């Protein structure tokens, strides 16, 4: 039973790492788009979506790392 729980924790940790990397990459892509650059030029503030993607990606990676190391 404990082995199955460790496998589930490891799997969910790896899934969160992948999700976090995806969110960071997507946030970078959105932040580099022309519409985002134009909006930032006009308003002086980066797009809120980009900040949320970076924040969500970082949180997912930290939680994923904690789960991966806990499962070992």
Q: Note the pLDDT tens digit of each residue in 7-45.
A: 999 999 999 999 999 999 999 998 888 888 888 788 877
Please check the confidence at residue 4 and state whether its pLDDT lies above 80.
Answer: no
CA–CA gap between residue 39 and residue 47 (Å, rounded): 7
Domain count, the chain: 1
The predicted pLDDT at position 2 comes to 58
The model's pTM is 0.83
CA–CA gap between residue 37 and residue 55 (Å, rounded): 19
H or E stretch covering 60 = helix 48-71
The predicted pLDDT at position 43 comes to 84
The predicted pLDDT at position 3 comes to 67
**Domain of residue 12, residue span:** 2-71
CB distance 55 to 63 below 8 Å: no
CB distance 36 to 30 below 8 Å: yes
Percentages helix, strand, coil for the chain, rounded to the nearest 5? 90, 0, 10
């Amino acid at each position: 039973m404990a082995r199955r729980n460790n496998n589930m924790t490891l799997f969910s940790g790896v899934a969160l790492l992948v999700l976090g990397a995806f969110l960071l990459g997507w946030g970078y892509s959105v932040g580099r788009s022309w519409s985002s650059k134009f909006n930032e030029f006009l308003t002086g503030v980066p797009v809120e979506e980009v900040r949320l993607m970076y924040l969500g990606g970082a949180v997912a990676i930290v939680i994923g790392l904690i789960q991966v190391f806990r499962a070992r």
